[in-house]
Structure 1
Amino acid sequence: MVERFHNITDVPGIKIGNEEDKVGYTGCTVLLIEKGAVCGVEVRGSAPGTRETDLLNPMNLVDRVHGICLAGGSAYGLDAASGVMQFLEKQGIGLDVGVGVVPIVPSAVLFDLPVGDPAARPDQKMGYQAALKAKRGRFPFGNSGAGCGATVGKVAGHHRAMKGGLGSASKVFPNGLIVGALVAVNAMGEIRIPETREVIAGARNDQGRIRSSIEWMLEQPSIPLTAGTNTTIGVVACNAKLTKSQVSKVASMAHNGLARTIYPVHTMFDGDTIFSLATGEIDASVDLIGTIAVDVLAEAVILAVKNAEGIEGFPSSKDVYES
């Protein structure tokens, strides 16, 4: 019997490692694929922070990656991917360039500097430690890894926001097909349950109650934020045989999972970025994988917020509903 974890590590060959600074409230989440996987990406937000995404264009040479790094710290957090590369190089994992290996580790970051200590940022050491811890199996959601300092509902400013976090989900089918998602939710918008449209986290009014993002936006001449101060970043993965063009299409389709759960989404203040991976074991159509990816990514977003724990100044969904 094959054990199932109901997270992205159900996809064979994928490991997850988290490392965080729970004083400075930042962290990184590392996904390792030691045998490599075909990878694509889709950036929809207008204020992204990314590394190695140009390489994933189907027209470009390299089509397999060995890891993905999701991190806080805004652009400073891109440094964590260097630690992941260092770890993989020591294992002899990477693109063979004749004189050694070059691990291919695309990365995306979110903005968590106003939470905790703005000088606390994921660095090479944190990326290396997260990679060192990477394994299959269950891992904590909510305030873990890249979700440590994540917040949501910032349409009315950071002082009215709530706690976001890290989440993951998967679906396993009788024919052996597995599709999983991993996401760090740090959105400007509110979080909604897709089936009921119930808002479980968002911008709070003076009484601490969640108020509609549209109501806030109608009252304000402009959003009280600077560009790049949000961003939801994640990965969808499957064990299907897909080309580089096809996984890029899956990444594009998967963004609909964000649209189902985050409102508004893909704004000028978000850098929403989704990577897509295929490990190449099962025959399946790109449309099937993309459709399932939407569902598992939406589920991962909800689990990220429901499992978040409140911190000073940023209550969790559980805190607001319990009060």
Structure 2
Amino acid sequence: MSRWMIAALCALLGGPAMADYHTDSLFNIKGLAIGQADDQQGLTGVTVLRFDGGATAGVDVRGAAPGTRETDLLKPENLVDKVHAIVLSGGSAFGLDSMSGVARYLEEQKIGFDTGVAYVPIVTGAVLFDLALGDPKRRPDADMGYRAAAGAKRQGLEEGSVGAGTGASVGKIAGMGRATKSGIGSYSLTLDNGLVVGAVVAVNAWGDVVSGNTVVAGTRSEDGKRFVSGTDLILAGANGEGFAGRNTTIGAIVTNAKLTKSQALKLAQMGHDGYARAIRPVHSMYDGDTLFAAGTGEIEVSNINAIGVIAAEVVEQAIHRAVQAATAAGGLPAASDLTP
């Protein structure tokens, strides 16, 4: 997105026509802390976004094979209007266990809804399939989720093959043997009026990560030395091995804007434009693509469309950063290992 476009969006949002690009400005959002834990032998991990004071959240699931927890309560018509953590986890369906560990930690800290007999934290999240790399028997569990939640901090978010991105990979249209190692990435933007919009995305797509029409991480040639277009292979009749849910890109848009649940849902929906711009193909039968959106309520906003446009931009950039920061593992090279 060009600077003049950002300036125009700033004007629509009522602030000065300037914007500041950072990856760490995500932590300008008060009340947000992020923790990660992983197993480098199992090649799997967990990333926890904590909102100790609660955040209004929504979710949009577009892949055909999702694995999620507590997403129904995010629907605008349902009662609960705050979440205390969004969890991104590896381990496929087994990784859902990590979210119980997050809930246990938050309860111990008396974070959640005070029911009079117990503090009940609302923990939602999604999982991706990373069992094909590392040891498939070593999966995110409640203890790993607990450690990630306990270690949450407000600075220095690590990107690449860590946390939920530890075992992530992209470009599996020609099979796992020609895939590329991926990871988790973040990107955020701060406007001069104090509004922050950021994203954290663990990229584990069946398709390729692209910039325009150029594959920057994804399906590799038969000799493994360069990238080829998985889309072209599909059009030529290829059908990559796999089963439903063996991939999945999961992430969260976070802002300090004051949102209703309906507005949070709209942000998640518009944020999927970032998935579509950066991943090709996306939202397939083999993916469970899920995107959350959460607002902490610090800043009043009047133009949700403008925030949605920015949300799509930061999601796209977070996806690019995820593959740029990834390192080789499990027999797969990272994009940085291949000569352009």
Question: TM tier, shorter chain?
Answer: over 0.9
Alpha-carbon spacing, 1:5–1:218, altered in 2? closer, same or farther (3 Å): closer
Query: Residue 201 in 1 paired to residue 191 in 2?
Result: no
Q: Show the 5 A alignment for 1:286-301.
A: 286-301=304-319
User: Secondary structure in 2 aligned to 1:294?
Assistant: helix
- Measured in 2, the distance between the counterparts of 1:8 and 1:122 equals 25
2:278–2:320: 8 Å Cα contact kept in structure 1?
yes
Deviation at 1:157, TM superposition (A): 1.1
User: Secondary structure in 1 aligned to 2:312?
Assistant: helix
User: Secondary structure in 2 aligned to 1:180?
Assistant: strand
Determine the structure 2 residue equivalent to 1:87: 105
Deviation at 1:139, TM superposition (A): 1.9
Deviation at 1:162, TM superposition (A): 0.4
Alpha-carbon spacing, 1:205–1:171, altered in 2? closer, same or farther (3 Å): same
- Measured in 2, the distance between the counterparts of 1:293 and 1:241 equals 15
After superposing on structure 2, the runs of 4+ consecutive aligned residues of structure 1 that deviate more than 4 Å are none
Consecutive unaligned residues in structure 1, runs of 5 or more: none
Q: Show the 5 A alignment for 1:113-192.
A: 113-192=131-210
- Measured in 2, the distance between the counterparts of 1:290 and 1:312 equals 36
State the AA in 1 paired with 2:265: S
1:7–1:168: 8 Å Cα contact kept in structure 2?
no
Deviation at 1:101, TM superposition (A): 1.3
CA RMSD after TM alignment: 1.2
User: Secondary structure in 2 aligned to 1:293?
Assistant: helix
- Measured in 2, the distance between the counterparts of 1:77 and 1:218 equals 34
Determine the structure 2 residue equivalent to 1:15: 33
Determine the structure 2 residue equivalent to 1:213: 230
**Seq. identity, %:** 52
Determine the structure 1 residue equivalent to 2:65: 47
Deviation at 1:221, TM superposition (A): 5.6
User: Secondary structure in 2 aligned to 1:236?
Assistant: strand
State the AA in 2 paired with 1:272: D
Determine the structure 2 residue equivalent to 1:246: 263
- Could you report, residue by residue, the CA deviation over 1:82-117 in whole angstroms, capped at 9, with x for unpaired residues? 000000000101122221111101010000000011
User: Secondary structure in 2 aligned to 1:321?
Assistant: coil
Equivalent of 1:106 in 109, 116, 124: 124
Deviation at 1:68, TM superposition (A): 0.9
User: Secondary structure in 1 aligned to 2:232?
Assistant: helix
Question: How many matched pairs?
Answer: 317
2:174–2:238: 8 Å Cα contact kept in structure 1?
no
- Measured in 2, the distance between the counterparts of 1:92 and 1:312 equals 39
Equivalent of 1:225 in 232, 242, 246: 242
Alpha-carbon spacing, 1:144–1:221, altered in 2? closer, same or farther (3 Å): closer
Deviation at 1:246, TM superposition (A): 0.6
User: Secondary structure in 2 aligned to 1:298?
Assistant: helix
In the superposition, the TM-score normalised over structure 2's length comes to 0.91
Determine the structure 2 residue equivalent to 1:29: 47
In the superposition, the TM-score normalised over structure 1's length comes to 0.96
Consecutive unaligned residues in structure 2, runs of 5 or more: 1-21
State the AA in 2 paired with 1:233: I
2:56–2:81: 8 Å Cα contact kept in structure 1?
yes
State the AA in 2 paired with 1:320: L
Greater displacement, 95-104 / 301-310: 95-104
- Measured in 2, the distance between the counterparts of 1:58 and 1:43 equals 15
Query: Residue 234 in 1 paired to residue 251 in 2?
Result: yes
User: Secondary structure in 2 aligned to 1:234?
Assistant: strand
